Structure 1
């Protein structure tokens, strides 16, 4: 029997918690307390000062992840003191002569700051996108000359500003790591590549040397490089693998700390096995529970299920999750061209950090593809209203059923997609030029007729999730065909473009300025609420109406969320 409620349930945040309640940030135990010497070593204060002096940076942005913000003020203080401690000139400078003074005035630039002026530091928090990426947008807001990035990073190339990476190295017990390794690999001739997450990268080479001294003969210590197109992203490879990438399948990977999911999926089809060593787990038994073998089969099957279930999506949303990755604009254009070539519609969105509430506002979007760094492009969460794919997965989704082949491989490298697209379009372009040389006057009409026959003879498409027939899975292909064959000659000759929604014929999709708009179609057919003032009937002068009927203009709310002001009253 259900218990009776003595008071109304709490359905919102209490008023006194509106501005005070915040989300709890988990701080690793290794960062909770640091001595003065450990602090200078972990945040590489001396190296940072040396780089600033060498490159003569005058405005430096310090970017911290959320769990390191508690140390940001201390880093700021040490860097400021370090620059101000530069030895000053003890000798009195000589007074320049008149001709020397004239030359100095000619070379004077008011925009350049003197070398004696110390650099200015700005702490960047709450980054626009993921903490692993360089927030160039926030850095440019303060006119920064460079960015010092702390913590783990995706090492994606930046587009504008130079970057100094401080990995904030974490401590590692070598004896425990060696014990965990030997419990995982009993055969001392096994080919193993030792890698580590960014904060543990400096321990990889010493650990490999210690294991080689114990008798292991095929150990390779992968070092950090800025190349996410490598077979192991941002890591060096053994010599035989560089000569023949197929030989990577003979090697096992021993990774220190939990790797990003994108790295696991990328390596799942390239290496023999992946074992993950967690340095913060206590050793309680042998074999060590710190070492677990990565199993990505379930995740890969789930990703492939999303790929095959979204081939009937007619409207795609392109989410920009970075503005600093060097080639993200090329990937955006490539994705837009792919979606248009499949006869589907795409819309571009820039929403900052992605969450379920933001993307749920656009219910007309049937599927999302995210453009970000190689790590943040993979968003695997059931909280989102519509699935979110990577550009690699979108390429499989848009492929026809007879061409879609799932080999178990997964890639997060944008450059690989662009290179493959360039190789496939080059022969096609040459063939098109050859056809155009032999083209006859009526070839355009023949092409339209061929497209029409192909569209009529195309097999029906069904939604694999519901089993229902989908009639508008490729709205742009149908609209392009009808607009070319049924466009009035007078409109084409005059070149006049309407600035209003065009009235559609039976079976046609709504168009705006002659371009099909599935979003406008969704707004008319399925949206029950269309915004403020949608309950008024509005007529425009183009329709011949003399009076324009609409809602009254009223003063809205002002103030902040802690207490809105409506007229003379206060509403919270």
Structure 2
């Protein structure tokens, strides 16, 4: 038997033509693009605004359809369409197309369950009505005398962050789900207790932390600036230091550069605030968990609050930081993680003048490298690596070029057979 059946010199792979997939062949069938992405509605919006340059941003799982959509919009409007290359935090927008069909579903359920309450789409700008509950872009009005202990939840949709957040927000309520894509229905909540204990563990880690990194995970949610200021005050009054960081989509490599930070708190939209930080060098908590760790007037109730607006003054979960007697500012308790004594020194609320003069940012100009160093800038200047130099306006813009094609069969330093 010839050995050519089992091996060859692999020369043929060099000359073998490679078939590249059509970049426009996305996962959404052509006939459904118009409905799913609301092409005509988008065209009308662009024309009403008179826009000449339009940028499209897609969540990661929908980027495969971006080229076809951009071409359709360009043909219909004459505008120049760009596709943003950066990734988003997640696909947290409510599916409006599917939500429009909920009246089929509501009428059928009402025949069997007279007390059914169906959620509706809600916008932040809408004024909530009396007794209305809002979570993750949805609103519903349950009976306040029965809410929430007497209610069960029925979630229509695939497993994802929204369902997980709902489970952790109301862990004592029975949850059922139906996935219309697979036709599978099931009872949820098998691992909720384990998830809640993990969140409690993170609260204890936050109590142990001395340096906190505040991650700016959203620029498009209203009141995020108020949330950042509120967090800084709460962390300061608990005797901890805080640094504010904004770095786009998070990954373990980015956050591993900040070794001085003991724990991070993520300020993001409700659906993406509970980030799984098991792969990160330091834990990541929500604003609610950070406040429970810092505010002695807050106690953990076993529920997770993912909407940071509820923690602000006037919010349903707001608890003012108590006035601490200077003689009682130093306290000691025991860490439930290490078992060691933990010293806490509460501080007074910073004034706006103290907050300005005590900034940790380094001020730079063309004459001096650093005009004034705060604690964070001093630590950064002592490092061997101090971040990337953007060189704004100095790097020429060049067109992307096509790379090499083919299949590598050997390295230069590889010994020949």
Note if 1:280 corresponds to 2:185: no
State the partner residue of 1:211. Answer: 109
CA shift for structure 1 position 424: 5.8
* Cα distance change of structure 1 residues 222 and 532 upon mapping to structure 2, 3 Å threshold: closer
**Structure 2 SS opposite 1:460:** strand
Structure 1: gaps (5+ residues): 1-30, 84-117, 133-151, 155-166, 168-197, 283-288, 429-446, 481-511, 534-561, 563-572
Q: Whole-Å Cα distance in 2 between the matches of residues 392 and 125 of structure 1? A: 32
What pairs with 1:462-477 in structure 2 (closer than 5 Å)?
Answer: 462-470=334-342, 474=345
What pairs with 1:58-207 in structure 2 (closer than 5 Å)?
Answer: 58-83=52-77, 118-127=78-87, 129-132=88-91, 152-153=92-93, 167=95, 200-207=98-105
State the partner residue of 1:531. Answer: 384
> Given the two structures, how large is their TM-score scaled by the length of structure 2?
0.68
State the partner residue of 1:320. Answer: 216
* Cα distance change of structure 1 residues 354 and 454 upon mapping to structure 2, 3 Å threshold: same
What pairs with 1:338-377 in structure 2 (closer than 5 Å)?
Answer: 338-377=234-273
Q: Whole-Å Cα distance in 1 between the matches of residues 58 and 165 of structure 2? A: 22
Q: Write the deviation string for residues 429-461 of structure 1: whole angstroms up to 9, x where unpaired.
A: xxxxxxxxxxxxxxxxxx9xx73x445xx4434
Q: Write the deviation string for residues 226-278 of structure 1: whole angstroms up to 9, x where unpaired.
A: 1498624122324x54xx37534332221112242333322335xx3221212
Q: Whole-Å Cα distance in 1 between the matches of residues 377 and 294 of structure 2? A: 20
**Structure 1 SS opposite 2:40:** helix
Which of 292, 299, 302 is the equivalent residue of 1:405? 299
Matched-pair contact (CA < 8 Å) for 2:263–2:284: yes
* Cα distance change of structure 1 residues 38 and 530 upon mapping to structure 2, 3 Å threshold: closer
CA shift for structure 1 position 320: 1.0
Of Structure 1 and Structure 2, the greater helix share is in 1
Q: Write the deviation string for residues 106-161 of structure 1: whole angstroms up to 9, x where unpaired.
A: xxxxxxxxxxxx4332222323x4143xxxxxxxxxxxxxxxxxxx516xxxxxxx
What pairs with 1:170-319 in structure 2 (closer than 5 Å)?
Answer: 200-212=98-110, 215-227=112-124, 231-233=133-135, 234-238=137-141, 240-241=142-143, 244=144, 247-257=147-157, 258-260=159-161, 261-269=164-172, 272-281=173-182, 290-295=185-190, 296-319=192-215
**Structure 1 SS opposite 2:208:** coil
CA shift for structure 1 position 80: 2.2
* Cα distance change of structure 1 residues 362 and 276 upon mapping to structure 2, 3 Å threshold: same
* Cα distance change of structure 1 residues 370 and 245 upon mapping to structure 2, 3 Å threshold: farther
Which of 37, 40, 43 is the equivalent residue of 1:46? 40
State the partner residue of 2:29. Answer: 34
Bigger Cα displacement from structure 2, 258-267 vs 359-368: 258-267
* Cα distance change of structure 1 residues 353 and 404 upon mapping to structure 2, 3 Å threshold: same
**Structure 2 SS opposite 1:375:** helix
* Cα distance change of structure 1 residues 124 and 245 upon mapping to structure 2, 3 Å threshold: farther
Q: Write the deviation string for residues 160-194 of structure 1: whole angstroms up to 9, x where unpaired.
A: xxxxxxx4xxxxxxxxxxxxxxxxxxxxxxxxxxx
